[in-house]
Amino acid sequence: MIGEKQNLKSLDAKLKKMTDWHVHIGQFNDVYYDYHDVFAALKNNDVDEIYLAYLTPIIKKEDVALQFYESVVHELKVVKRYAKKIQLNVNFLYWADPLVLKQLALEKIYDDFRYSGIALHPVLHNWTGEFTKELSDIFSFARKKSVQLFIHTGVSKNDEPLQFEKWFSEYPEVKVRLAHCKDSEPIIQLFQNYPNLSGDTAFCPTDSYDDICKAGFAERMFFGTDFPISHWYEHRNEKDKKYNVQQLTENYKKIIQITPPNQSP
């Protein structure tokens, strides 16, 4: 009987999926992270499912932004086929660019590629200032299509999460994942007022995570790593930025050891 219980526990461990809610591919500063290498490192660490956003730079011209968007869509279709081949469940996020949204409707963007959500980065784009119309369009689309939003947050004026409260209030049906949750005070305040919000643990300080859990919101915190950005920071002072899969694998292993445990959705 004891042996049977142990076998069942082993089976449960094997069947349990490991999901990383915060992963990237593409160019970050001076390093390009190829999807083959990133996916290999994830698979080497028994990751079954990821939420993936293609890193997008700040682009000032509309025609260049549209060209970059089209090139990313083409690459993501290749990435999608490869992910299926290696049996990695990838949920693709559209990294929203307001210059693209001035030219293409979100319906067209979702026709081009079937995304699982939309990612917003307020440091790169002033969504609550210069691009409030586009932001409202995104929330309206998300409500209409039941699309989840993912918003980068931090501790600076540009990325503090309270700036989005107006939209959280006006669109209570829209599920929003707040990335990083570095400052527990505004996160707890928002969680208390808006049940449609959750967070991820990518680069989330331990004390902030503990505060959020003590406030009763542990079930709203999901495991995320921001990989392979974690790799870039580990090696940012090295002259030679070339990497290999083994190096990426070791970096991810370190990150999951210091990141709060995965929370099932």
For the chain, domain boundaries: 19-234+242-254
**pLDDT of the residue at 16:** 60
**pLDDT of the residue at 263:** 41
Segments of the chain with pLDDT less than 70? 1-16, 261-265
**pLDDT of the residue at 17:** 74
Measure the CA–CA gap between 80 and 212, rounded to whole angstroms: 35
**pLDDT of the residue at 52:** 98
Mean pLDDT across the chain: 91
Q: What is the CATH number of domain 19-234+242-254?
A: 3.20.20.140
**pLDDT of the residue at 13:** 41
Evaluate if pTM is beyond 0.85.
yes
**pLDDT of the residue at 8:** 37
CA angle 26, 29, 30 (to 5 degrees): 90
